[in-house]
Amino acid sequence: MNKLALMLAAAGLILGTSVAVKAEEHAAPAAAAEAPAAVEHELADGTKVVVEGDMVSVVAADGTKTPAPDGEHKAKDGTVLNVKDGKLVK
């Protein structure tokens, strides 16, 4: 291999590494953006619920989740959750 070919090969390796790092940097935030933040509430009657995106679930003592029943649910902090088919209604 001559000096020019060796320099071009080295430049290609450096460029390839740089591009791979940049692609990973862009992929990581997209994965984090997909997961909705979970917000926990305690209702006035002591029932614990969790809101994940537009889904509202009742959390049992053992940690299992079931869709919240339809209706208006008032949290101890004053938040009102309007639910239909286990989803927040706006």
pTM of the model: 0.59
pLDDT at 25 over 80: no
List C-alpha distances in Å: 29 to 18, 23, 36, 43.
Answer: 18, 11, 13, 33
Distance (Å, whole) CA 51 – CA 68:
10
pLDDT digits (tens, 9 = 90+) for 36-56: 689 999 999 999 999 999 999
The pLDDT confidence band at residue 23, using thresholds 50, 70 and 90, is: low
With left for phi above 0 and alpha for psi between -120 and 50, is residue 60 left, alpha or beta? beta
